[in-house]
Amino acid sequence: MVQPSFSHPRSDPSSSTSSSPTAALDAFLDNQHQSYFEELYKSEAVCLCVLRSLPPVPRHIILHHLWSHQPLRTTEVKSFLQLDIQTSIQDVDEIMRPALNRKILHPMMLKKNKMLWPSNDAFKKGLRNALTGLGTSNSFGVPFDRDDDAEIPSQEVLVAYGEEAFEGILKYMVSSGLGIGFSVARPQAEVLELLHISGLMIDPTDATGQNPNLNKMTITSKGFQFLLEDRQTQLWEVLMYYLTAKEANSERSAEVLSMFFSLGCMQLGQDYSASKSFPHALSALNDLAQYGFIYRPSPDSNQFFPTHLATALCSGDAAATKSQDADEKRFLILETNYKIYAYTSNELEIAILNLFVDIRIRYPNLVVGKLDRKNVKSAMEKGISANQIISYLSSHAHPQMYNSPPPLLHPTIVDQLHLWDRERNRLKMEDTVMLEFFSKELFEDTETESKANAALQLSVPNQKFLFIEPQTKAAITDFVKERQNQLRSGF
Amino acid sequence: MAPPPPAPDLSSYPKTTPPSVLLVIIDIHPLSWSLLASPPPLPSVPDQPAIDKAHASPMTLPDFVTILMVFLNAHLASRWGNEVVVYGASAGRAKLLYPPPSNAVAGPSKPRPNTYLPFQLLDSRIEQGLKEMAAEEQDRLANGDVNSLNQPPAMVSALTKALCFINRINPHTSASAALVDPTAAPDPSAPSSTGPDRPETRILVINATPGENVSTSSSSLDPSQTNGEVDGNVQKASGGQMRGGYVGLMNCVFAAQKAKVPIDVLSLPPPSIDASPPIFLQQAAHLTEGIYWQWNGRGGLLQYLHALYLPPPSLRHHPFAVPPQDAVGFRAVCFCHHKTLDVGFVCSVCLSIFCEPRPVCLMCKTRFPIKSIPTLKSLASYIEPIPVPDTVPPPPIPKNSKSQNNENNKKDRNKSVVNGNSGGGRGEPIEID
C-alpha cells in the first residue's frame, strides 16, 4: 500500500507566508491607498517599523539608497544584486514588490527596459529623521513629566499586568467553548463587542447576528484557531480587528495605526504622556488599556506605561517576546507514543491543551495527557486544523526536545495528525454535469476531448457516463453535437 | 540573438537573516586625526570628471563620529536584535566604548520624544566614552608622557578584545553546551528557517592612521628613533622588540578566519596623505572575506558606509554584490627588524620570517648549517621583486559601468600574483609577496 506523503508544515511555502506574525497587518497595509501611506509616514516610528517589516533584500536596497539624492534605477538594483543587465523589469519589480506595495518607491518608466523608482519623500524624510533623531512628530513618545521621587511600577509588574489582562480575554474565550468552569472575570463590554464583530465569538441564540446578547456568547471555530496562534499574531489580529471595526473613518485610522507603531517603539518601564504623545488618538489609547497594552495608574490620568504586549508589537520576529517568556512558553514534551508532558501551571495553556489532548494526570506543575483520535477529532470538529495543532506543538516544544535530532516532532505523530484530519474529509463535494452516451465512439471522442481541455472529472466507461466541469458544459455539448452530426453523416 | 537571461531565483533570496552583531573598532589616534582634519590638496583626476568635481573634504573626528552614529543607527534599524559594540583604539591602548559595563549608571534618564530610545542610548554612550578617552589622553600628556603619542593605535589590542567578545556571545557550541544553555542551540522553531538563529558577527575596522604604521608595532618604541617624527609616519625598525604588532595582528586575523568573522576595513587616509595602503589591514580583510575600501578624501562617507558596509555577511556575495577588492600586497614583516619585506627567509622549523639568513633562528633557536648561508644569499639575489600594484586604485564612481570591468581586472591581477609566486618560490628563500 502506498503511504500518503505529507509535506512537513515548515517546508510548505504557503504555511510559511501565513505564519508571519504580522500577517494581519500586512494584509491590511496591502489594501491601502497612497494617501493613507502619506499620512502614516509622517511618523518616524512608522517608517522605522515598516522598514523592518520588509524582507531583507528590499530592506537593504532601501537603506543602501537612503542617503542618495538620485532616484533608484533598475540598473543599479540589477548590478547590486548581480543580475544580468538584460533581466526583465518584471523580475526586478518582483524583488522590490514589498517596497512598492508599501509605497516606499514609486514606479516610473524611463525608457525601454529601464525604470526609475523615486522614493516616497515622506518615507525617506521620516526614515532619515528616525536615524538622526531630527524629527518633530514626537512619534517615539513624549515622556511623562513626573517628580523624580514618584513611585513607578517595575517592569515585572507591568508584564504581569499586561499578561493578566490579555490572558483574561483568552481564558474567557476558552471557557465559553469548553464549558469548564474556571472563574473568569467577563471582559468589558467593548472587548466583547469586538470579539463578536471579528467573528471570534458568536451568540448561538441570536440567529440574525444583529443584536447579540454579549453575556451568552460562545467561541467559534475561528476563535479556536485564534487561540492556537502565537502571542504576537494574536495581538496584531486583535489590533487589526479593532482598527477595521472602530475606525471606519480612514483619516483617523492612519493616526491610530501610527500609534500602534509608536507603542511598539517605546520602552518598557518608561512612562509617557498620553496627551502629548498621541493628541489625536486618545480614545483609541483608552480602548487599548482594556486589552492590557498599556497600564494607567488611574483611569483618567495622563500618564501611561506601555506593557510588554505593546513594546513587543514591532519586534518583527517575536524574538523579544520569546526572550521574555521563553521559559513559560516552552513546556511541552511529546513522545512518539503520543504522550504529552506539559510542564505548566498556566490555566490558559492547560485549557488550550484540553482542546485536543486527553488529559490524564494533573500535578501542580505538570500535566500528562495523550493525543488520541477522539480528542483530536473533536478539536477538528471545532475547526482546528492539523497544521495548527502541529505548529502549536512545535512552537511550545520544550528545550529538551531540541536535543534529539530533527525534525522536532516525530514524523509518526505529524503524519497521524494529518491522517486524522483527512478522515474527516473523505468526501469532497464538487459541482458537476453528467453526460450519458449511447454510442461508444461518441463517448470515447468526448472523453478525449474533455481530457484535452481539462474538463473531465470522472468517466465511467461501463455505463458510458462522463462527469465534466460545469463551466465547460456549453463547449462540450457543442462538441458533442458537432461530432454526432459527423458520425451520423459518416454512416 | 542572445537568449533572454534567466529570471532571478526569488526563492533563493533569504526570507530572514539572523540577528547581526557589528563590532566597530575606531582609530582615534590624535595625530592621525590632525592629519585628516587638514589634508593636503588632492591631485586632480582629469579622466574621471565625476570624481574630479568633488572637492577634498577635511574630516574631523566629531564630524566622522556623527556620521558613524547614523550608520550604527541604521545597522540597529535594519533588524530587531541587531547589536553594536564599539571599541576605541588610541595611541597604544584600546577601550570598550559601547555597550557600557553592566555596573555603569543607566543612560540618560529622559528619553527624547523624537529619537528611538536604543539609538539615543548608543549615541550618548559613544559620545561619553570618546570624551573619556580623550580626557585620558590629555592626562597622559599632562603627566609628561609625550612619547606615548608616538605609539601607533592599538589595533591589535582592540581586535583581540573584539574577538574575545565574539567568543563570549557566540561560543562554539557543542552538544554539551547546548544542554547547558538551550537558548544557544539552533532553534528550528524560530522564524528564520534559512539559518540558525545564532547571531552573525562581523568586525569593522576604521583606520585613520596612514601607512604601514598601523601594524608594525604595538609595543612602545625606542624614544631615540621616534622623537622627531610628529606626523605619525613611523616606519623605521623599532629595535629589539621581538613581538611586533604584526604577529599579533596576523594571529587575530587567523582567529577571525577560523571563526568565520569577516573583518571589514575602512581606511580613511586618502591617497594624498598615504600613498601606500595599510597592507596588513588589507590582508586582514582579504583573508577573512571582509570588505576593504580606502576613502578617496572627497566626502560622501555617509553614503559609502551605508552602501558598502551595511549588508550583513549572510546577504553578501549572494544576493548582493560586494565591491571588488583590488590587488592585495601579501608582504610580511620580518621578526628581527620589523621591516616590511618583499623577499624574506623563513625558519623551516617555526616559520618565523627574517630579512636576512641567520645561522640560528631567533625565535626557536634552531641551528642551521653555516655553510648554507652564502648559498641562500646568492640565490636570493637572483630573485626580482614581483611588480604588484601596491596602491589601490580609487573605486570608479559611475556605478553603471563598474561591475564587469573591475572584476575582470581583479581576476587578471590575481592571476599575475599567483604566477609570480609559483615562479619565484624555489628552494629555501621563500618569497613573500
The C-alpha cell of A17 is what? 507566508
Query: Confidence class of residue A369 from pLDDT cuts 50, 70 and 90?
Result: very high
CA neighbor of A226 nearest in space, from A375, A408, A373, A355: A355
Higher per-residue pLDDT: A169 or A86: A169
Burial class (CB in 10 A: 0-12, 13-18, 19+), B382: exposed
Q: In chain A, which residues have their Cβ closer than 8 Å to the Cβ of B113?
A: 138-143, 276-277
Confirm or reject contact between B227 and chain A (CB < 8 A): no
Burial class (CB in 10 A: 0-12, 13-18, 19+), B303: middle
Given a contact cutoff of 8 angstroms between Cβ atoms, the answer to whether B82 and B20 are in contact is yes
Given a contact cutoff of 8 angstroms between Cβ atoms, the answer to whether A177 and A302 are in contact is no
**How far is residue A72's CA from residue A76's CA, in Å, rounded to a whole number?**
7
Q: In chain A, which residues have their Cβ closer than 8 Å to the Cβ of B13?
A: 55-57, 95
Higher per-residue pLDDT: B183 or A491: A491
* Of the partner residues A92, A276, A402, the one whose CB lies closest to the CB of residue B187: A402
- Is the pLDDT reported for residue B85 higher than 90? yes
- Is the pLDDT reported for residue B402 higher than 50? no
Question: How many cross-chain Cβ pairs, A to B, lie less than 8 Å apart?
Answer: 185
**How far is residue A362's CA from residue B396's CA, in Å, rounded to a whole number?**
71
In angstroms, what separates the C-alpha of B316 from chain A's closest C-alpha? 10
* Of the partner residues A59, A66, A83, the one whose CB lies closest to the CB of residue B306: A66
DSSP annotation of A292 reads T
The answer to whether the Cβ–Cβ distance between A141 and B306 falls below 8 Å is no
Per-residue confidence (pLDDT) for residue B378, from 0 to 100: 86
The answer to whether the Cβ–Cβ distance between A95 and B8 falls below 8 Å is yes
- Is the pLDDT reported for residue A471 higher than 90? no
Q: In chain B, which residues have their Cβ closer than 8 Å to the Cβ of A20?
A: 191
Digit-coded pLDDT (tens) for A124-174: 999 999 888 888 888 888 888 877 667 778 888 888 888 888 888 888 888
Per-residue confidence (pLDDT) for residue A208, from 0 to 100: 65
Cα dist. A341→A264, A329, A410, B180, B282 in Å?
35, 14, 15, 21, 56
Mean pLDDT of B379-387: 77
* Of the partner residues A86, A276, A395, the one whose CB lies closest to the CB of residue B189: A395
The reply to whether CATH 3.30.70.2610 applies to domain A433-490 is yes
Q: In chain A, which residues have their Cβ closer than 8 Å to the Cβ of B15?
A: 16, 55-56
- Is the pLDDT reported for residue B178 higher than 50? no
What is the dihedral sign for C-alpha A286, A291, A294, A298? positive
C-alpha R_g of chain B:
23
The answer to whether the Cβ–Cβ distance between A143 and B70 falls below 8 Å is no
CATH architecture of A44-132: Orthogonal Bundle (1.10)
The answer to whether the Cβ–Cβ distance between B178 and A403 falls below 8 Å is yes
Question: What backbone torsions phi and psi does residue A280 show, to the nearest 5 degrees?
Answer: -100, 0
Residue ranges with strand state E in A296-416? 303-306, 332-334, 339-342, 358-362, 367-370
Percent of chain B with pLDDT over 90: 13
**Closest residue of chain B to A68, computed from CA coordinates:** B303
Of all helices (H) and strands (E), which one includes residue A98? helix A97-101
What ipTM was assigned to the predicted interfaces of this complex? 0.76
**Closest residue of chain B to A77, computed from CA coordinates:** B320
Per-residue confidence (pLDDT) for residue A340, from 0 to 100: 92
Task: Give the residue from A19, A132, A391 with the most B CB atoms within 10 Å of its CB, the best one to mutate.
Answer: A132
Per-residue confidence (pLDDT) for residue B101, from 0 to 100: 76
Query: Confidence class of residue B4 from pLDDT cuts 50, 70 and 90?
Result: low
Q: In chain A, which residues have their Cβ closer than 8 Å to the Cβ of B4?
A: 86, 88
**Closest residue of chain A to B198, computed from CA coordinates:** A319
Query: Confidence class of residue B175 from pLDDT cuts 50, 70 and 90?
Result: very low
**Closest residue of chain A to B114, computed from CA coordinates:** A138
Higher per-residue pLDDT: B245 or A242: A242
The answer to whether the Cβ–Cβ distance between A66 and B319 falls below 8 Å is no
- Is the pLDDT reported for residue B214 higher than 50? no
Confirm or reject contact between B174 and chain A (CB < 8 A): no
Per-residue confidence (pLDDT) for residue B407, from 0 to 100: 41
Digit-coded pLDDT (tens) for B368-378: 888 888 888 88
Q: Do the two domains A44-132 and A433-490 of this chain adopt the same fold?
A: no
Amino acid at A34: Q
Confirm or reject contact between B106 and chain A (CB < 8 A): no
The answer to whether the Cβ–Cβ distance between B190 and A403 falls below 8 Å is no
The helix, strand and coil proportions of chain A, stated in percent and rounded to the nearest 5, come to: 50, 10, 35
Given a contact cutoff of 8 angstroms between Cβ atoms, the answer to whether A263 and A313 are in contact is yes
With both helix axes pointing from N to C terminus, report the angle between B155-169 and B245-258 in degrees, rounded to the nearest 10. 20
With both helix axes pointing from N to C terminus, report the angle between A386-395 and A373-381 in degrees, rounded to the nearest 10. 110
The answer to whether the Cβ–Cβ distance between B311 and A60 falls below 8 Å is yes
Confirm or reject contact between B242 and chain A (CB < 8 A): no
The answer to whether the Cβ–Cβ distance between A317 and B190 falls below 8 Å is yes
Per-residue confidence (pLDDT) for residue B190, from 0 to 100: 35
Mean pLDDT of B187-206: 62
Sheet holding A108-111, edge to edge: A72-73, A114-117, A108-111
The answer to whether the Cβ–Cβ distance between B182 and A399 falls below 8 Å is yes
Given a contact cutoff of 8 angstroms between Cβ atoms, the answer to whether A43 and A49 are in contact is no
CA neighbor of A187 nearest in space, from A233, A232, A238, A225: A238
Given a contact cutoff of 8 angstroms between Cβ atoms, the answer to whether A398 and A332 are in contact is yes
- Is the pLDDT reported for residue B259 higher than 50? yes
Lowest mean pLDDT among A266-275, A376-385, B189-198, B363-372: B189-198
Per-residue confidence (pLDDT) for residue B246, from 0 to 100: 82
In angstroms, what separates the C-alpha of A68 from chain B's closest C-alpha? 7
CB-CB neighbours of A100 under 10 Å: 16
**DSSP secondary structure string, B276-345?**
S--HHHHHHHHHTT--EEE--SSS-HHHHIIIII-S-GGGBTTTBPPPPP------EE-TTT--EESEEE
* pLDDT, mean over chain A: 81
In angstroms, what separates the C-alpha of A7 from chain B's closest C-alpha? 15
Domain ranges of chain A: 44-132, 155-311, 325-424, 433-490
* pLDDT, mean over chain B: 73
The answer to whether the Cβ–Cβ distance between A317 and B182 falls below 8 Å is no
The answer to whether the Cβ–Cβ distance between A317 and B175 falls below 8 Å is no
Per-residue confidence (pLDDT) for residue B432, from 0 to 100: 40
Per-residue confidence (pLDDT) for residue B103, from 0 to 100: 65
**DSSP secondary structure string, A412-460?**
HHHHHHHHHHHHHTS------EEEE-S-HHHHHHHHHHHHHTT-EEEEE
**How far is residue A282's CA from residue A294's CA, in Å, rounded to a whole number?**
12
In angstroms, what separates the C-alpha of A79 from chain B's closest C-alpha? 7
DSSP annotation of B209 reads S
Task: Give the residue from B13, B79, B114, B405 with the most A CB atoms within 10 Å of its CB, the best one to mutate.
Answer: B114
Q: In chain B, which residues have their Cβ closer than 8 Å to the Cβ of A56?
A: 13-17, 79, 315
Amino acid at A458: L
Confirm or reject contact between B387 and chain A (CB < 8 A): no
* Residues 303-322 (B) with a CB less than 8 A from some CB of A: 303, 306-307, 310-311, 315, 318-321
Q: In chain A, which residues have their Cβ closer than 8 Å to the Cβ of B197?
A: 319
Confirm or reject contact between B228 and chain A (CB < 8 A): no
Structural domains in chain B, CATH included, are 18-42+51-173+198-219+237-326 (3.40.50.410), 330-383+416-433 (no CATH)
Mean pLDDT of A255-264: 88
Q: Report H helices in A179-220.
A: 189-197
Under DSSP, is residue B134 helix (H, G, I), strand (E, B) or coil?
Answer: helix
In angstroms, what separates the C-alpha of B88 from chain A's closest C-alpha? 22
Place of cell 513624549: A142
Mean pLDDT of A5-20: 42
